Structure 1
Amino acid sequence: MVDEAALQFGIWCHKGSPAFAGREEQSHEAATIAAGAYHRRLHLLDMLARETGGAFLAGGRVTIADCVAMATLQFADGLYGVPIPDGCDALSECYAMFAKRTSATPALYPEALYAVARGLPEICPAPLK
């Protein structure tokens, strides 16, 4: 499920972000569909995280799912300005717990990349539920 969220986020970026304009075909429609799918996957992950009741997605210990989720969520927010959706409290808590790890230091990107990547939710917002 985390891999599906990462895939949908990638499509959202590639089809909707100015960072990819001129590098590949852009499609507002495809980006919007992917944005909605990304948000739905995160809400589903949130539901599953609530069911486990642990500090991480699958319970009390870190799994590969947490690593992929952390990388995806950190990249989405850090470079593109796409936060974890409202209402995903369990997912936000898992993210916050994982972010405390020294291995989860956020990447720094070149300013020129920030300039064209930031603001994806404003350029191509996820459709409302």
Structure 2
Amino acid sequence: MRCGAHRCENPRWHCACPDCECPSNRVRSCYQRRLADTPVGDQPVRIELTVRRLHCDNARCERRTFAEQVAGLTFRYGRRTPALRRTLEAVAVAVALAGRAGARPAVVAAQCGQPDAAAAAADGAS
């Protein structure tokens, strides 16, 4: 399942610089972000966002450009939603327990479209 959102179309939306918190709506560029999210049923979910890269208007700020973040959904360099991160962290704990305790969460990780994460957690536990 794919969800799409475009935030680039409305230049009136201001975003604050993460360093100086100066608001800016001066768009430098837009780009696509793809995030993995928790599955719906047994279908993996991908969220496709179009986000803006903005100029910081504060001359004293060292940061020249920054990317807008969607509160509660994105963070810098993140490729997974916070909900999926929590799920995968729970899977890693369960895999570390091994045996029957780790079997069900490993299945959940495979359903999330993250079989490598479950395998990596299993390798780290051994």
The normalised TM-score by structure 1 is 0.28
Q: Which one scores higher on RCO, CA 8 angstroms, separation ≥ 6?
A: 1
Query: Going by fraction, where is strand more abundant, 1 or 2?
Result: 2
Which is greater in Rg?
2
Structure in which a larger fraction of residues adopt helix: 1
